[in-house]
Amino acid sequence: MTISTDTPAQLRKGHLRHGLGATMLSDRDLNVTDRFGLRNQGRHSGPPPPIGAKALPVPTSLLVNTEGRIVWMDQSMNYQHRSDPDTVRAALQTHFDKRDSQ
Amino acid sequence: MPDIHHLYLGIPALLIVGGSFALWIRAFQRVAIPKDRTTYVVTWIVGGSIGLGALMMSESGDLTRIPAWFAVSTSVILLLLVSISRQVPAENTIRVSDCMPTFTAIDEHGEPFNSLSLQGHLALIKFFRAHW
C-alpha cells in the first residue's frame, strides 16, 4: 500500500504508469501522515498548492504484522534517497518466513 | 568580431554540469542516488565556477554566453535541491514495535479505505512524496 499527497486522479495515472497492484491512498491534507508522525518538519521541498501539497511526508517504508504492530521500518533522512528495493525485499522475506513458521 | 575565447570555458562547463546531471537523473530513475553525494556536489561547483568564469570574461548580450549561463543556472538549481533535501520527522514519529494507528483515506478510485481492513494481514506501507 502507498500513501502520498497525490490526488486520486494523480494516483490513477501513477497506478497505470507503474503497473502497480498495490492500493494507493491519497493523503492531500496529511491527516494519515500526521497519525504516523511522518510530516517533514524540515524545509518544504515540493511545489506549493495547487500543484503540490502544503507539506510532504518523510519517505518511509513500514512493515506491519498481522497484530497491527510495526515490525520493520526504513526512513530516508534525505528525500533524494529511497528505500533500497533489495532491503525491502529482504525484510518482507524475513517477516513472511517468520509468519509462515508460526 | 566578438571575442569568443570564453567559449573555451563555457562549453566545457556545460559538458561537466550537463553530463553529471544526466548521470544524476539516471541514478534517480534507478533509485540509486548515492548516500554520499560529495562527488556530484564538487562536480557542480567546479562546472558552475568555470561557467561563471566564462561569463565574467565575456560581454553582456553576447549569445556565445549561453552555454555558460546554462552551466551556472543548472549547477545552482542542483546545489539548491541538494541543500534542501534533508528530512526531519516529527518528535512523535512512529517507531518499530509501536502499534499502527488506525486511519481512513480515499484510494486511487475515490473509494474510502479503512485501516481496520488490514487486520490479520501482513502489510507493507510506503509513504512517498508525490507524482508531479
ipTM of the complex: 0.89
**Beta-carbon separation of B106 and A26 below 8 A:** yes
Q: What is the pLDDT of residue B3?
A: 62
Q: Which residues of chain A have pLDDT under 50?
A: none
Q: What is the pLDDT of residue B67?
A: 92
Q: Calculate the CA B77 to chain-centre distance.
A: 9
Are the CB atoms for B126 and A2 separated by under 8 Å? yes
Q: How far is B105 from chain A (nearest CA, A)?
A: 6
**Best B83, B113, B124, B132 residue to mutate vs chain A (most A CBs within 10 Å):** B124
Cell numbers linked to B76: 545552482
Q: Please, is A35 exposed, middle or buried when counting C-beta atoms within 10 Å of its C-beta (0-12, 13-18, 19+)?
A: middle
pLDDT digits (tens, 9 = 90+) for B1-41: 456 666 788 999 999 999 999 999 998 877 788 888 999 99
**Beta-carbon separation of B87 and A78 below 8 A:** yes
Read off the pLDDT of each residue in B114-131 and give the average, rounded to a whole number: 91
How far apart, in whole angstroms, are the C-alpha atoms of residue B19 and residue B75?
11
